[in-house]
Amino acid sequence: MMNGKEYLEGLRDNRVVYLNGEKIDDVTAHPAYENAARSIARMYDALHDEQMGKILTATTEEGYPTHKFFKEPKHAQDLLEARDAIAQWAKLSYGFMGRTPDYKASFTAHLKAFANYYEGFADNARNWYKKTTKEIPFINHTIINPQVDRSKPLHENKDVYVRAVKERDDGIIVSGAKMVGTAAALTHYNFVSNYGAQDLGDGDQSHALIFFVPMNAPGVKMISRQSYEQIAKTLGSPFDYPLSSRFDENDAVIVLDNVFIPWENVLAYKNVNVVNGFFVETGFVNRFTFQGCTRFAVKLDFMVGLLMKATEAAGTKQFRGVQANIGEVIAFRNMFWALSTAMAANCEMKNGVALPNLQYGAAYRVLAPMVWPRVKQIFEQVVAGGLIQLPSSANDFLNPELRPYLDRYYRGSGIGAKERVKLMKMIWDAIGTEFGGRHELYEINYAGNHENIRLETLKIADVTGDSERFKAFVDSALDDYDLHGWVNDTWVSPQKELVQK
């Protein structure tokens, strides 16, 4: 397992990253990325920490240490321990870094158990399992096509989508673009596939691919969105932007311009069935919802604490309505921790590994996008104007002429002005800044299209037989009576009562 220093060194590899028209030479030393990179490095160092390492790591069957979520789970206890490891890493960013290295372990930890699923590339799957468990590389993923003209069928946009443009004895050449590479500039590899691959016409399946590509491979280019970390440094200080200045997972469009992919990095080639099935057939959807639900629960722990401290600072914690709102957020927090526990405790076995329960994972996918906006709304209603009654920056407190006014007019209930403003700025960064707005969009769309996550929940009920059981349950109630009354002796029909009278 690499440590933080080795992780950062691995990013200094001549990768091509663009931001604000500039080609970034070293993301580990650039103000747009450096603190986020160090936040990830902190996670790698935690693997080697004496205390945190006990929670985070385990020994593989081959005898080497790894992060618990990277290791094949054999039973529910393995999943519960992996859940605790996921939570431990998530706590290091207070739940605000969603696509940390353990996210892609949702996929890689099953590569050995489901190796034969990848027709013709089973050995590659096994080798990537061994590599990822030993090294714990940071892998981002891009499976969505750029939103160009979605009114057109796939084959009319084939020049945009990632596809194989040439086959060689030693691999394939791919071209196209993918979105959205969360934290891509800070990762070692990009996992590329297609969500809902189709024949492009005339038997063309050139975009039905699954492969890994190093971020410094010739032809790989990352086009970053604006950096909230850099904005935070430009406009203020950590006092003003305590979250965005260190936890911004900069999203990027990944351009693959005639990139060579050696065969050993390929898991599917021109195979629509394999590409479309790996989400469900290999347990990826079970695991990424497990990781996501746990991370979201940690984030809600943090938000509950923020809301409690905000109401204490305002002197409103004893108000009935305020307490009711805090209770609501606590209930949300409890629900997602319960879902996380239930996913592990009620796991199912497949190919010798324990899969987190998918019904509860589907519930997380549907509920989280509704809960986060509601939590944000509660903050806006309860903390209200306190989020705007803030000085422009920490520099205001350093101005001797201004400081007495701040100390008098910005203080709270049992808390000084500096401490109250520090707290309020933390809350505003979580929900009100551009960083906060991105997090709302992220949580709403994290697990997929808002309709698909509901449709897939219905499909799971159909496949598991739950739909038939639900209807049969209703039938059992309908069968209790007919036009003449109750059909059994448990209840007395009105007609019989009348006759007796």
Which pLDDT does position 152 carry in this prediction? 76
Please state whether the peptide bond connecting residue 180 to the residue before it is cis, i.e. omega within 30 degrees of 0.
yes
Which pLDDT does position 199 carry in this prediction? 65
CATH top-level class for 284-463?
A: mainly alpha
Choose among 221, 182, 214: nearest CA to 101: 182
Per-residue pLDDT tens digits for 74-124: 999 999 999 999 999 999 999 999 999 999 999 999 999 999 999 999 999
CA atoms within 13 A on the CB side of 231: 16
Establish whether 182 is an annotated binding residue: yes
> CA-CA distance, 267 to 279, in Å (whole number)?
13
Which pLDDT does position 86 carry in this prediction? 99
Question: Which regions in the chain score pLDDT beneath 50?
Answer: 499, 501
Establish whether 169 is an annotated binding residue: no
What phi and psi values does residue 269 have, to the nearest 5 degrees? -135, 115
Contact 354, 74 (CB under 8 A): yes
> CA-CA distance, 247 to 35, in Å (whole number)?
7
- Which three-class secondary structure state does DSSP give residue 94? coil
What phi and psi values does residue 65 have, to the nearest 5 degrees? -75, 150
Contact 493, 484 (CB under 8 A): yes
What phi and psi values does residue 93 have, to the nearest 5 degrees? -120, 15
Establish whether 143 is an annotated binding residue: yes
Residue 155 tokens, joined:
């084959």
Residue 254 tokens, joined:
């990944």
Establish whether 466 is an annotated binding residue: no
Residues 225-230: contacts with CB under 8 Å, at least 24 apart: 225/250, 225/251, 225/252, 226/19, 226/20, 226/434, 227/19, 227/31, 227/32, 227/33, 228/433, 228/434, 228/435, 228/438, 229/31, 229/32, 229/33, 229/34, 229/35, 229/36, 230/19, 230/31, 230/32
What phi and psi values does residue 113 have, to the nearest 5 degrees? -65, -30
Which pLDDT does position 57 carry in this prediction? 98
CA atoms within 13 A on the CB side of 66: 27
**Structural domain boundaries of the chain?**
137-273, 284-463
Which pLDDT does position 240 carry in this prediction? 98
The end-to-end CA distance of the chain, in Å, is 84
Which pLDDT does position 497 carry in this prediction? 52
Establish whether 147 is an annotated binding residue: yes
Establish whether 149 is an annotated binding residue: yes
Taking the domain 137-273, which CATH number applies? Answer: 2.40.110.10
Establish whether 326 is an annotated binding residue: no
Residues 475-485 as b/e (b if ≥16 CB within 10 A, e otherwise) read: eeeeeeeeeee
Establish whether 142 is an annotated binding residue: yes
Which pLDDT does position 308 carry in this prediction? 98
Q: Which residues contact 489 (CB under 8 A, 6 or more apart)?
A: none
